[in-house]
Structure 1
Amino acid sequence: MKKTIFLLTLLFCLLLGATTAFAQDTTVGISPATTTVNQGQTFTVDISVTPAVPIAGAQFNLSFNPDILEAQGGS
């Protein structure tokens, strides 16, 4: 449980740092910023990008410990 919250917070910090490397006006958001879930419970994390200039697409790498979390999909 605490590991999940830690991983989400770490992911948020990593993505927040990446936004300043590309453009100061680009915003990357993660929702919810923190959450509490029980083992076996499913939860959703939304990652949004608001670019400073129009873009056709974006790519990012999401890393997590597969012993703790299981990705069930993405879009």
Structure 2
Amino acid sequence: MEELIETIVKALVDHPDEVHIEEVQSNHSITYQLRVHNEDMGKVIGKQGRIAKAIRTVINAAGTNEKKKINLEIV
């Protein structure tokens, strides 16, 4: 899943070397914390959060096999 997020985000940003993803697991959910360069924050979030919402939708669709809720936090 981290590879999927990384592939999507690196295509959007100007500083692909500074994309870092951390996975945090709990009993009922998996949270991916995404960190990007400050200048790229707007590109990842998009106008009114549309790009972030689209990334979350793709992640949730890809993670349907897992019995846990999948979250994406942009830090």
Q: TM-score normalized by structure 2?
A: 0.43
Q: TM-score normalized by structure 1?
A: 0.43
More strand by share: 2
More helix by share: 2
Q: Give the number of the structure whose alpha-carbon radius of gyration is greater.
A: 1
